[in-house]
């Protein structure tokens, strides 16, 4: 498919997938364009377009090559990209309250992280929980939300040696990002705490609790509250 300078770039991922790239970095303006485009495409996608996957700076378009065929997908995409739809934050963005028990055995890196940042553990908790976060994309593992909006002063390097198993629900910082591990898995982000919410459950109609474009508010809770919510989640 052709493209003009400054326009979205369309490339092939495979015989049945295309990638629409809107930028080359990670920034709020590009993320907003990605989410707006994903919403626009979802509203008009023809039968045979199986999935639309927003990332930090691109949207993946997956289709049934035998059913709809690449020519029709390309024509549809070209038409949509020519619309120059305005980019605006959705007025009805869902806000998800995420309780977090910080520190202790549930947040084993909190003390080291606070020392590295030159602040007390309490200040780190307060500033992390005060953030205005948006789900930029889902990746790494099913249901893993990459959250934009981390205070730049809280950026932390990844661990020199990743852990072989991080418990599900762990809330962590890796570089300039924060996120939540949806299941037990290896990982190298610094763990500040844990949420009792189930981020991914294949038995639910919508398995992933968080979706791109959702807003997230972290709410500090004590361990008793954590255990009570965890019991209700089972």
Query: What pLDDT score was predicted for residue 3?
Result: 41
Q: Strand, helix or coil at 221?
A: coil
pTM of the model: 0.84
Distances (CA, A) of 115 to 46, 112, 121, 122, 123: 53, 5, 8, 11, 11
Residue 15 to residue 63: CA distance in whole angstroms = 9
pLDDT per residue as tens digits for the range 14-64: 999 999 999 888 888 888 889 999 999 999 999 999 999 999 899 999 999
Residue 14 to residue 12: CA distance in whole angstroms = 6
φ, ψ (nearest 5 deg) of residue 5: -55, 135
Please report, for the chain, the start and end positions of each structural domain, with discontinuous segments joined by +. Answer: 9-81, 95-233
Q: What is the DSSP string of 145-195?
A: EEEE---GGG-BPPPSS-EEEE-TTEEEEEBTEEEE--SSEEE-SEEEEE-
Fold of 95-233: Cyclophilin (2.40.100)
Same fold, 9-81 and 95-233: no
pLDDT per residue as tens digits for the range 133-156: 999 999 888 999 999 999 999 999
Query: What pLDDT score was predicted for residue 1?
Result: 47
Fold of 9-81: Gyrase A; domain 2 (3.30.1360)
């Amino acid at each position: 498919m052709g493209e003009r300078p400054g326009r979205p770039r369309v490339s092939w991922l495979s015989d049945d997938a295309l990638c629409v790239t809107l930028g080359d970095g990670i920034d709020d303006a590009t993320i907003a364009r990605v989410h707006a485009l994903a919403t626009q495409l979802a509203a008009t996608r023809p039968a045979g377009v199986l999935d639309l996957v927003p990332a930090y700076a691109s949207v993946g378009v997956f289709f049934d090559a035998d059913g709809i065929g690449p020519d029709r997908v390309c024509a549809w995409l070209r038409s949509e990209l020519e619309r120059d739809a305005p980019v605006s934050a959705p007025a009805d963005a869902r806000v998800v309250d995420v309780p977090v028990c910080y520190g202790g055995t549930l947040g084993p890196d909190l003390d080291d992280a606070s020392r590295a940042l030159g602040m007390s553990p309490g200040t780190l908790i307060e500033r992390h929980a005060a953030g205005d976060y948006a789900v930029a994309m889902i990746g790494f593992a099913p249901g893993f939300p990459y959250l934009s909006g981390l205070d730049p002063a809280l950026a932390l390097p990844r661990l020199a040696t990743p852990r072989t198993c991080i418990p599900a629900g762990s809330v962590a910082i890796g570089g300039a990002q924060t996120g939540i591990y949806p299941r037990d898995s290896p990982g190298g982000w610094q763990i500040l705490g844990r949420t009792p919410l189930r981020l991914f459950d294949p038995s639910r109609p919508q398995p992933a609790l968080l979706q791109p474009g959702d807003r997230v508010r972290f709410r500090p809770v004590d361990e008793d509250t954590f255990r009570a919510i965890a019991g209700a989640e089972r």
